[in-house]
Amino acid sequence: MTNPLLINTDTPFNTPPFTSIKNEHFKPAIESLIETAKSEIQDIIDNNDSPTFENTIEVLERSGKSLDRVSAIFFNLNSAETSDEIQAIAKEVSPMLTEFSNDILLNEALFNKVKIAFENTDQSKLTEEQKTLLNKSYKGFVRNGALLNDEQKQQLRSIDIELSKLSLEFGEHVLAETNKYEMVLESESDLDGLPAFAVEAAAELAKQKGHEGKWVITLDYPSYVPFMTYASNRALRKELSIAFGSKAFKGDELDNQAIVKRIVQLRNNRAQLLGYNTHADFVLEERMAESANKVMDFLSEIERFGRPGAERDVAEVAAYAKKLDGLDSLERWDFAYYSEKLKKEKYAVDDELLKPYFQLEKVIDGVFQTANKLFGLQFIENKEIDVYHEEVTAYEVKDEAGDHVAVFYADFFPRAGKRAGAWMTSYAGQYKDEQGDHRPLVSIVCNSTKPTATTPSLLTFNEVTTLFHEFGHALHGMLANGTYESLTGTSVYWDFVELPSQILENWCYEKECLDLFAKHYETGESIPEDYIEKIKASSNFMEGYQTLRQLSFGMLDMAWHGQDHKSIDSVPEFEQEIMSKTNVLPSIPGTNMSCSFSHIFQGGYSSGYYSYKWAEVLDADAFAYFKANGIFNREIADSFKENILSAGGSEHPMTLYKRFRGQEPDVKPLLERAGLLAEV
């Protein structure tokens, strides 16, 4: 059989031929393309000409493109449409890819070529993008062990292979725990308080899972969050909260405690092998924040404003719960329930009131119109483009002149084979070579509320902002306009990557934007202006609590990675010690954040979770610029596109930001937006 991953299948815009790809194609394709990439590397080494930027650095940048493409297809499917078979293949190919990566980065002959090119290139004759590539290429080798001796290099290889396996295993355990839990409800009284959409969705889930005539609640966010927010049965909220918080923390075969300890130990060993004190020191060398001390200073500064607000928020909810139901002790499983009731009483607004105005299809159209008004983009559904699941929609993206910009995939609903949360990813990045401008293939994946037999998919306002958030990442990928793929799109410093996503959320609170798409799914009536005012007025509701919660995750991340842990006997004791410093609600026995903290133990956020807050400072400051001049101001949008979205990682992010904004970011707009300036 011909392997579709190894031939040109002549698809529209060179998109993956998903329906032709079988699981058995992946491993042989990856094995074959590793050999091809090795040959490309050997050609650089065998070149007898003196190493230069052109014949070494640029050629190295262009190597392995086919392998990168197939790897992207495989690992994206492992996140969005996985199976036992794909997970088994991942366990085989991940170590192979890690070993290949190390073969390059620890190749002494190749590094010598790169070193000569680095030392002998006159950087004054390079563009800023070329300078960045040259320095990043050299530093990439050094940061990955090129200056180590042979014994140390072997140690590094072993660490990296083990880390890749452990990261996969961690994620598989969390997914398995999420998928296996079902709360089967047999009595209609157990549904008291739940809005109609949540009841109907629970009935649909029950039907799918073989519990006809009952209701099922799961740990997937579209099921879990409404139950915790609206269900009046406190005992069931407690049960669900403990189930959610104890994922991979039960002492069984899916327990992640040993994996957490081993990952942390290996990351620290790796950093020290490379000459850094801790994993955080290694990571933050290439971040805007620069050091663990700066991160902790930043988090502590925000905490100074956030803690009084959090304490006020919890006291207000506790008093309300006492008044309403005589509750003497507010627990974590009570907070969302009573804060939602309080929010509705204070602002007369809740998800049940707003959801009819946020039909998924209309929200998608709204985000497309927003991109059109800001950047002149058009999105045209294209059924000729192959997709990996029937629920995925593919679009061709064009600019105002009608020229091709990108392919955009959208995948919105939870499935057993899809990990939780929402994310943006790419199947191919943008770059330029002698054949022209290779445009990107970009995807967003969400877990939004599914349609039911009687209603379309109606989103909570939080799901609306999540969609805008991920679409902001997608714009960063789609509008990339660089020469080198490793510097285009979202290939930027990690604490800069959330700026395009988080800034786009701001449009969701503006009438001028909401009027584009927020229309009642039955009547077509635009969202009433007083609802918009209530959304804005309530946007700071419980912001102190939410701010401290985010800070606690960032501090937990830095605690795991910002110090030398020779041995940690107990994951829960260590976590409790750290989290107690920011806790404003009692902790729940039998639960643990670290064991399902996929961002830092499976995703790429280790020593980087603070970046969400860091990027909020950037996005609040940047949006204040838009707000002062019009949220659809094309001149400012063009500058944002040119200096942020299209520029990627071609220059230092602070240089790019100042070129757009005319100044360094100021924390004041964030504190004002959050209503926290008056707290201290």
Q: Which domains does the chain have, with CATH numbers?
A: 12-147 (1.20.1050.40), 181-245 (no CATH), 356-542+612-679 (1.10.1370.40)
Q: Which residue would you say has higher pLDDT here, 625 or 453?
A: 625
Q: Would residue 470 show up in a list of annotated catalytic residues for this protein?
A: yes
What pLDDT shows up at residue 18? 97
Answer whether 448's CB lies under 8 Å from 457's CB.
yes
What's phi and psi for 408, nearest 5 deg? -125, 125
Tens-place pLDDT, residues 335-353: 999 999 999 999 988 888 9
Bridging pattern class, strands 393-398 and 404-411: antiparallel
pLDDT at 679: 53
State the CB neighbour count (10 A cutoff) for residue 191.
21
The pLDDT tens digits of the residues spanning 123-176 come to 999 999 999 999 999 999 999 899 999 999 999 989 999 999 999 999 999 999
Q: Is the pLDDT of residue 680 over 60?
A: no
In the predicted model, what is the mean pLDDT of the chain?
95
- Residue partners of 394: CB distance under 8 A and separation at least 6: 15, 381, 382, 383, 385, 386, 387, 407, 408, 409, 410
Mean pLDDT of 32-45: 97
Residues of the chain above pLDDT 70, percent: 99
- Neighbouring residues of 196: CB distance < 8 A, sequence distance ≥ 6: none
pTM: 0.82
DSSP string, 22-57: -HHHHHHHHHHHHHHHHHHHHHHHH--SPP-IIIII
Q: What is the pLDDT of residue 1?
A: 64
Catalytic residue chosen out of the listed positions 61, 396, 463, 470: 470
Residue 100 has pLDDT above 70, yes or no: yes
**pLDDT score recorded for residue 678:** 67
* Parallel/antiparallel/unpaired status of strands 215-217 and 183-185: antiparallel
CA distance 190 to 363: 32
* Tokens (6 digits) for 203: 């009935």
CA dist 237 and 336 (Å) reads: 10
Per residue in 190-227, pLDDT tens? Answer: 999 999 989 999 999 999 999 999 999 999 998 999 99
Q: Do the beta carbons of residue 160 and residue 98 sit within 8 Å?
A: yes
The confidence score (pLDDT) of residue 439 equals 98
User: Tokens 């949540």 correspond to what residue?
Assistant: 198
State whether residue 226 is helix, strand or coil.
helix
To the nearest whole percent, how much of the chain has pLDDT over 90?
Answer: 89
